[in-house]
Structure 1
Amino acid sequence: MARAHAPISSVRARAYRIPTDAPEADGTLEWDATTMVVVHVEAAGATGLGYTYADAAAAGIVRGTLAPILAGEDAFAIAGLWDAMRRQVRNMGEPGIAACAISAVDVALWDLKARLLDIPLHRLFGARRARVPIYGSGGFLSYDDDRLAAQLAGWVEREGCARVKMKIGADPARERARMRVARAAICDGAALMIDANGALEPRRALAIAAIADGEGVDWFEEPVTSDDPEGLALVRAQAPGAVEIAAGEYGYNPHAFRRLLETRAVDVLQIDATRALGITGFLAAAELAAAFAIPVSAHTAPALHGAPAAAAANLRHVEWFHDHARIEAMLLDGAPVPTGGAIAPNEAPGHGLTFKEKEAERYAT
């Protein structure tokens, strides 16, 4: 029989810096390693796992700011703990590192609750679908044409993805050429998506949207920064009708998503449970989007998003991001394996993921 009360006995956090398999770059940033902050929460003899992709400072916030207010509290009382964690970071500022820290703890709490109840997390939520569509995502600006083509084609041929996404910069001539390389690689087997990571101002974004439309692109992600919802709305209003505008990956709380939705800035709202205050925040943002009749897409961290994506009413797909999919396959037992362009939530209790601490030790910071 499930326990009626499960006092939290331990909250642990540690950061790991994992090198990329090649240099990576988008329209605004270059990197050669990714930091994963891993959280374990224990109660009543069970352990929940959560994680975020953020600066190592998030681990310090978990240990020094969040763990003390969680100690001894009921692990089943996730809503109240979520509120308490948000209040606790008020003076340091919630968006950014603090939101990522809360996200990792919230995911661990949901995993812990489902494990204590001995039920898969997606069944605890009440899944709407047995399989979740994915799209292949990478196509970094640091790749040459051969690597770009091989990566995108691989997702179509191996994983059966119906969609693939590439990064773009601000040079229209270069981006037209790269889009043509991508289109030739995937032929008519998949839809092509582009992501500027907020690198453009609205007029340049509209110029590239016109080029993209001519190359058969139907998704333009963050053509301008998400900090400028009015600029996004302008691009959405004037872009070719076949090109959807997407943003939201830097939404750290419900207020950020509300602003994007109220300004009619997006055709698809992206939500990242490793940033948006966890699974609790993910599901709240998805419900908010549903009230605006806007579909949602889960941003990166595909292993973590399987269960909440299965439950979201208005889900479009989950991003199978090269960097994170590679790390999760390396360091998580139970990580999903795509087939037919989709992944299935794990049927083990909780989210079904176990962190490989021994294998990860060499990456610890």
Structure 2
Amino acid sequence: MRITGYRTLTTVQDWGRPIGDANGVYADGLVRIPIVIVETDIGITGVGLGPHVEIEKVFSAIEGEDPRGVTALYDRMLRRMFKAGHTGAVFGTIGALDTALWDIKAQAAGEPLWRLLGGRDRRVPAYASGLDIALADDELVALYQTYAERGLRAAKLKGGLDIERDRHRLALVRDVLTDAGHGTRPGLMLDVNETWTRKQAVRHIGELERTLDLTWIEEPVRRWDADGHATVGRGIRASVASGENLTGLEQFRPLIAAGAIDIVQTGAGWGVTHFLRVSALAHAHDLPVSPIGTTPVGLLHAATAVPNHLVSELQDLRPPCGVTIDLHVEDGAYLLGDHPGLGIRVDEEAIATTVRRLPDPLSGGSHIRPERAGHRLS
């Protein structure tokens, strides 16, 4: 079996409501979802969700190769791009191709990827994450009631701009999840997406912890700031979670070595091989891992095969337009199916009809860092 080509598509995730975080909001709730399809000479195709940046150059490292040699091909892609820099969106392209290769390998073996990787249990514990900073109180409550109906008993809210507003919103969601769990204490997390300085983080979380029990605070300071994460961790009771925007083991190593993070996160767009390697590094330091992403299907399969998976993020309950996935959510967890590979099916005709709805990548949203981030007095 040989890799013969690839195709790229872009669909949309239609949330049907505003979504965003401390950095900005997508008012129309539409987010671009890039897709890579890898083709082989025997007709098996693999699907990866992730960027297309520099894809011709990255793909040249694997063209004509046997896709079943996934981990060696992953390193081959990294080597091909090391001068240009295999980080950021380029790392996402490598991750998308890597995920597609794992999909092909599992399909060729006639097994779901979770089984091929050595997973025993198809159940992957989840927490609710509504990208909810723009919602009014009644909208917030209604949203998390929907998650609670699926059995989720932990939630991560977006915040970081106003202490009292965060306290109020966290309490609303706490009450929703407590009622759904018949009094069981829920897990509460706050994600501020790198919007604070070290002092702001300790002050803000310290104030919240006077009345709330937080499981973790996510990305309290800039993603690469090992000393800053460690400082925050020493000043609060909650765990510190970070890593979704780190690319490559070399970026994780300083934070883990400094004891700066308690929950090691990996972004779904960076690929399966990356997640497996980060999980092994974290496991060597007795740290749990937690996948992050809108559609983290590749990492959900991989999570079944690592001993230190804690919980995975569940954002929208619907997949991107034109995409179907062999999984469902019940009793607070993703339940993976038995379809060989990742279980992703792409309807290219349906995706073609979404072109007119694709948001302008240069328009505002949470992907643009505000000018005053980290420079507010309150």
TM-score (norm 1): 0.90
Corresponding position of 2:264: 269
Corresponding position of 1:102: 94
Q: For residues 183 and 79 of structure 1, do their structure 2 counterparts lie closer, same or farther at Cα, with a shift above 3 Å needed?
A: closer
Q: Tell me, what secondary structure is at the counterpart of 1:151?
A: helix
Q: For 1:152-206, what per-residue CA distance to the aligned partner results, in whole angstroms no more than 9, with x for missing partners? A: 22211x1101211110122212222222222233334522211111111111111
- Structure 1, unmatched stretches of 5+, are 1-5, 53-57
Corresponding position of 2:350: 359
Amino acid at match of 2:254: R
Tell me, yes or no, if the aligned pair for 1:310 and 1:345 is still in contact at 8 Å: no
Looking at structure 1, the residues matched to 163 and 115 of structure 2 have their Cα atoms a distance apart, in angstroms, of: 46
Looking at structure 2, the residues matched to 174 and 25 of structure 1 have their Cα atoms a distance apart, in angstroms, of: 16
Tell me, yes or no, if the aligned pair for 2:113 and 2:340 is still in contact at 8 Å: yes
Tell me, yes or no, if the aligned pair for 1:303 and 1:335 is still in contact at 8 Å: no
1:76 is aligned to 2:50: no
Q: Tell me, what secondary structure is at the counterpart of 1:211?
A: helix
RMSD: 1.7
Corresponding position of 1:346: 337
Out of 227, 247, 254, the position equivalent to 1:252 is: 247
Amino acid at match of 1:312: V
Q: 1:352 offset after TM fit, Å? A: 1.2
Out of 189, 196, 210, the position equivalent to 1:193 is: 189
Corresponding position of 2:372: none
Corresponding position of 2:365: none
Q: 1:327 offset after TM fit, Å? A: 3.2
Q: 1:24 offset after TM fit, Å? A: 1.6
Corresponding position of 1:3: none
1:283 is aligned to 2:283: no
Tell me, yes or no, if the aligned pair for 2:275 and 2:299 is still in contact at 8 Å: no
Q: 1:90 offset after TM fit, Å? A: 2.1
1:155-170 equivalent positions in 2, closer than 5 A = 155-156=147-148, 158-170=149-161
Looking at structure 2, the residues matched to 259 and 20 of structure 1 have their Cα atoms a distance apart, in angstroms, of: 36
1:239 is aligned to 2:232: no
Q: 1:310 offset after TM fit, Å? A: 0.9
Corresponding position of 1:47: 45
Relative contact order (alpha carbons < 8 A, sep ≥ 6): 1 or 2 greater? 2
Looking at structure 2, the residues matched to 353 and 87 of structure 1 have their Cα atoms a distance apart, in angstroms, of: 29
Q: For 1:49-92, what per-residue CA distance to the aligned partner results, in whole angstroms no more than 9, with x for missing partners? A: 1112xxxxx32422x21223322111112122111211222233
- Structure 2, unmatched stretches of 5+, are 359-378
Tell me, yes or no, if the aligned pair for 2:53 and 2:89 is still in contact at 8 Å: no
1:211-230 equivalent positions in 2, closer than 5 A = 211-213=207-209, 214-230=211-227
Amino acid at match of 1:262: A
Tell me, yes or no, if the aligned pair for 2:322 and 2:347 is still in contact at 8 Å: yes
Percent of paired sites with the same residue: 29
Looking at structure 2, the residues matched to 141 and 343 of structure 1 have their Cα atoms a distance apart, in angstroms, of: 24
Tell me, yes or no, if the aligned pair for 2:122 and 2:337 is still in contact at 8 Å: no
Corresponding position of 2:374: none
Tell me, yes or no, if the aligned pair for 1:139 and 1:152 is still in contact at 8 Å: no
Looking at structure 2, the residues matched to 105 and 195 of structure 1 have their Cα atoms a distance apart, in angstroms, of: 29
Corresponding position of 2:362: none
Amino acid at match of 1:12: R
Looking at structure 2, the residues matched to 351 and 21 of structure 1 have their Cα atoms a distance apart, in angstroms, of: 26
Q: 1:309 offset after TM fit, Å? A: 1.0
Q: 1:346 offset after TM fit, Å? A: 2.1
Looking at structure 1, the residues matched to 84 and 30 of structure 2 have their Cα atoms a distance apart, in angstroms, of: 26
Looking at structure 1, the residues matched to 222 and 279 of structure 2 have their Cα atoms a distance apart, in angstroms, of: 21
Tell me, yes or no, if the aligned pair for 2:6 and 2:36 is still in contact at 8 Å: yes
Corresponding position of 2:54: 61
Q: 1:128 offset after TM fit, Å? A: 4.2
TM-score (norm 2): 0.87
Tell me, yes or no, if the aligned pair for 1:150 and 1:185 is still in contact at 8 Å: no
1:144 is aligned to 2:136: yes
Q: For residues 98 and 170 of structure 1, do their structure 2 counterparts lie closer, same or farther at Cα, with a shift above 3 Å needed?
A: same
1:202 is aligned to 2:198: yes
Q: Tell me, what secondary structure is at the counterpart of 1:224?
A: coil
Out of 159, 172, 189, the position equivalent to 2:163 is: 172
Looking at structure 1, the residues matched to 193 and 53 of structure 2 have their Cα atoms a distance apart, in angstroms, of: 28
Q: 1:42 offset after TM fit, Å? A: 1.6
How many residues align? The count is: 346
1:310-325 equivalent positions in 2, closer than 5 A = 310-322=304-316, 325=317
Q: Tell me, what secondary structure is at the counterpart of 2:97?
A: helix
Corresponding position of 1:55: none
Corresponding position of 1:125: 117
Corresponding position of 1:9: 4
Q: For residues 332 and 194 of structure 1, do their structure 2 counterparts lie closer, same or farther at Cα, with a shift above 3 Å needed?
A: same
Tell me, yes or no, if the aligned pair for 1:269 and 1:294 is still in contact at 8 Å: yes
Q: Tell me, what secondary structure is at the counterpart of 1:36?
A: strand
Q: Tell me, what secondary structure is at the counterpart of 2:217?
A: strand
